Structure 1
Amino acid sequence: MRAIVVNGRAMPIPGGGCVADLVEALGHTGKRIAVELNGDIVPRGRYRDVALNAGDHIEIVIAVGGG
């Protein structure tokens, strides 16, 4: 199995294999999020261009409003 680590948990690479596919698979499409791939922030406009590879470490942070 080709696996990645997302927020500390191993999971298979989603079909298509790009950051946008991962965001969609996790149900975060349209949410205000930040994605870090192996220590580097991935700009939202590049989610479809950035491929995921076995062993990659991804951190996803969801912005929550409050006051």
Structure 2
Amino acid sequence: MVLYINGEPREVERELNLNELLNYLGIAFREVGLAISVNGEVIPKSKYTDVRLKEGDSVEIIHLVGGG
């Protein structure tokens, strides 16, 4: 199955939810400063296990960085 992660095609072996995708990518589920959208819709962390990704979905993963 192909997903588009931050605009790049990425092959995954099976259907995943957002939490499983983060684990697959090596990103901590509870990481502070993390925002994710699927097909343009921002997903709250409380819904990461509920959102099932489908073939061709576009996932944007944004790491917020503080600074001054």
Q: State the TM-score, normalized to the length of structure 1.
A: 0.86
Q: Secondary structure at the match of 1:34?
A: strand
State the number of aligned residues: 66
- 1:18, 1:49 within 8 Å by CA — same for their partners in 2? yes
Indicate the residue corresponding to 2:57 in structure 1: 56
Which structure 1 segments of 5+ residues have no match?
A: none
| 1:38 corresponds to 2:39 | yes
Q: Secondary structure at the match of 1:45?
A: helix
- 2:15, 2:53 within 8 Å by CA — same for their partners in 1? no
- 1:14, 1:21 within 8 Å by CA — same for their partners in 2? no
Per-residue Cα deviation, 1:14-61 (whole angstroms, up to 9, x for no partner):
656101111122222132210000010011000001000000001010
Indicate the residue corresponding to 1:9 in structure 2: 8
Indicate the residue corresponding to 2:48 in structure 1: 47
| 1:28 corresponds to 2:14 | no
In 2, distance between residues paired with 1:15 and 1:45? 22
In 1, distance between residues paired with 2:20 and 2:14? 7
